[in-house]
Amino acid sequence: METLSQRISAATFQSLKQIQEKNTQLSIETDKIFEQKDSFRNLQKELACLEEENLRLKQQFTSICEMEHKLEEDVKDTTKSVIPESFANQVVQTQKLEEILYAFRIGTGITVLKVMDKVARVQFDISLDSCYMESLYADFDVSSEHPRILESNFPVFIPLGVVSEKWKDEKDIKFFIQKVYSLLKAYFSRKNQVQILQENVGEFLRWPVHASMSYDFLEFSPMIDIPEDLYGTVALKLKYGISECFPKDVEVEIQGNEDFQEKIKSILSEKNYLLLFRSCLLMEAFNLIFGTKE
């Protein structure tokens, strides 16, 4: 028959076993807490690096603004002193600095911030001539060595996925920011050029400018001041690279009687239309080639 001391010993052993199991479980939980703290410290370090990069980019943007002011002064001096070799070369030389200025008028404020635990946001605040237009952002899971996009409000034609994949190889957030910035600058430049053309010389177009969603393809038909005995139509098709502000290809379709076609070919050849379209802003090239004014 089991004695009282045996019962007490058994109960004591069982209690000690439970205490040991709880201690083991507590040790496991403690290790997890320390691991989480290490992950949090690493995330804090990464966030600090992002904030430093954000500060550097803001300083760079300030330098660009200062450069813009200097270039504006240079434009005034340059346009007075240019000696043209030909009509097209004159335009290209006098417009060169103005085009550089235009590129910087498409302003992009870049912010990198922590949205939640292990999620960082890269945000581009778009402005034109100091007027705010819209904000575009991409949220990334930064819990692993290779960040991945969780959510974004970028237009579908901005290839964030491709840029993000290349970012994995580069392992540098500056690569992502620089690539996306160049794509946005080119897109908003093309879009704004079309809007300016339509608003200012729309009355000289047979129909509103046809444009693709990304403004990398444009088509329009100018109304040309020619003698009444000549009749026909001209259509221009401009194709852009996704990261380009100026067209890489210009196609001209001419329909009409033979004299009309010869007249249009003569105008285009004389004005060196390809050089103008590839070197000047859209409305400026249009005016210089077809003789309309703002």
Q: Where residue 202 sits, what CATH number does that domain have?
A: 3.10.110
Structure-token match 């709880």, residue found: 22
pLDDT of residue 220 exceeding 80, the answer is yes
Whether 90 is in a domain gets the answer yes
SS3 per-residue string spanning the chain:
CCCHHHHHHHHHHHHHHHHHHHHHHHHHHHHHHHHHHHHHHHHHHHHHHHHHHHHHHHHHHHHHHHHHHHHHHHHHHHHHHCCCCCHHHHHHHHHHHHHHHHHHHEEEEEEEEEEECCEEEEEEEEEECCEEEEEEEEEEECCCCCCEEEEECCCCCCCHHHHHHHHHHHCCHHHHHHHHHHHHHHHHHHHHHHHHHHHHHHHHECCCCEECCCCCEEEECECCCCCCCCCEEEEEEEECCCCCCCCCEEEEEEEECHHHHHHHHHHHHHHCHHHHHHHCCHHHHHHHHHCCCC
Least confident of 11-15, 21-25, 238-242, 274-278: 11-15
Q: What integer pLDDT is reported at residue 290 of this predicted model?
A: 86
Whether 210 is in a domain gets the answer yes
Whether 79 is in a domain gets the answer yes
φ, ψ (nearest 5 deg) of residue 251: -110, 135
Give me the half-sphere count of Cα atoms (radius 13 Å) on the Cβ side of residue 190. 28
223 and 206 in a common domain: yes
Beta strand pairing status for 217-220 and 210-211?
Answer: antiparallel
Least confident of 57-61, 91-95, 103-107, 243-247: 91-95
pTM of the model: 0.61
Whether 9 is in a domain gets the answer no
83 and 157 in a common domain: yes
118 and 228 in a common domain: no
Are residues 264 and 233 in contact, defined by beta-carbon separation less than 8 angstroms?
Answer: no
Whether 256 is in a domain gets the answer yes
Structure-token match 């300016």, residue found: 196
Whether 16 is in a domain gets the answer no
236 and 130 in a common domain: no
52 and 168 in a common domain: yes
Whether 32 is in a domain gets the answer no
Domain boundary among 188, 213, 233: 188
116 and 55 in a common domain: yes
Q: How many domains does one find in the chain?
A: 2
Q: What integer pLDDT is reported at residue 98 of this predicted model?
A: 43
142 and 205 in a common domain: no
Domain boundary among 164, 188, 212: 188
pLDDT band at residue 120 using 50, 70 and 90 as cut-offs = confident
CA distance 184 to 213: 13
Best-predicted range by mean pLDDT (75-84, 112-121, 179-188, 210-219): 210-219
145 and 82 in a common domain: yes
248 and 223 in a common domain: yes
Pick the more confident residue, 255 or 103.
Answer: 255
Expressed as residue numbers, the domain containing 107 is 48-188
Q: Residue 164 CB: number of other CB atoms within 10 A?
A: 19
97 and 68 in a common domain: yes
99 and 173 in a common domain: yes
197 and 166 in a common domain: no
Domain boundary among 146, 171, 188: 188
Whether 137 is in a domain gets the answer yes
CA distance 153 to 164: 15
Q: Go through the chain and tell me how many residues it has.
A: 294
With a pLDDT cut of 70, the percent of the chain lying above it is 64
